[in-house]
Chains A and B, each alone.
Chain A
Amino acid sequence: MQKNRARPLSPHLSIWRWGPHMAMSIANRVTGGALSTVAAVALVWWLVAAASGPEAYDSFRDLATSWFGVLVGFGLTVAMFTHTAGGLRHYVLDIGAGYELRTNKNWAWVSLFAPTAVAVLLWAYILLRNA
């Protein structure tokens, strides 16, 4: 089949000038994917380990409190908070609010960076408390 080059195409990623709303949109999807895989496995692992007995639980806990576990935990916290902010942002957009250019841009920036800041504060609190 011959391609019709004159055929109009809807504008895609390469057409639009990159903006925070686009970054937030893809961040919401990427964090959702990470939570659906890594965090889902971690949640099941934690609960099954707890039900399986002290040895299984302690091996999970040792891994979770190692530097690697804390790194993954921090990453998942950033993902969870970012995805939460993205979700809340969507509820506002879903009712038809927040589409004015400046408002939309500002809240996109806030939902991109505020969750990471909150995650840093939370983990600083947890690590200092247990230090």
Chain B
Amino acid sequence: MGTGTGVGRVRGLGPAGHGAKNWFHERISGVANFALFIWLLVSLLTLPSIDHASVLAWLSSPLTAVPMILFVLTTFWHSHLGMTVIIEDYVHDEGLKFGSLILLGFFNFAGAALASFAVLQIAFRGTVS
């Protein structure tokens, strides 16, 4: 941001131009979340038990592991988009905002990676119990 010309004084002060993309991705991931959450809710309610053996047996099927990983990814994606907007709206200090957004990204990538890896590990190990 300069102090000279008119355009130099306003450059960097306006919107980044990515607002509609964030909004649209929030909607798309929301639809995916909705479908996958209904699946997860119905699956958990119809499981005979939520003990370790039943959950492992259930998660090790490809038709469970894949939707579960998709649920993890779309959830963290949607969560990242929403929390980004919340931070942008309420954290006014530029430095703090920048730092918060980076930490948010670390948190969401770590969460999505940990949860996906856990599901893959269960699925690839199979049901030896």
Partner-A contacts on B (CB < 8 A): 27, 30, 34, 37, 45, 50-52, 55-56, 59, 68, 72, 75-76, 79, 82-83, 86, 108, 111, 114-115, 117-119, 121-122
Contact = CB atoms under 8 A, between A and B. Distances in A.
Interface residues on A, range: 20 to 34
A85 to B, nearest CB: 11
19 contacts: A32-B82, A33-B86, A36-B82, A40-B79, A41-B111, A47-B68, A47-B114, A47-B118, A48-B114, A48-B118, A50-B59, A51-B119, A52-B118, A54-B52, A57-B55, A58-B52, A87-B34, A88-B34, A94-B27
A58 B86 CA distance: 35
Given A33-B86, A50-B122, A61 B72 contact: no
Interface in A50-67: 50-54, 57-58, 61
A91 B33 CA distance: 14
Contacts of B52: 50, 53-54, 57-58, 61
Which label, helix, strand, loop or mixed, suits the secondary structure of the B interface?
helix
Contacts of B108: 40
Contacts of B51: 61
Which label, helix, strand, loop or mixed, suits the secondary structure of the A interface?
helix
A58 B55 CA distance: 12
A91 B27 contact: yes
A50 B82 contact: no
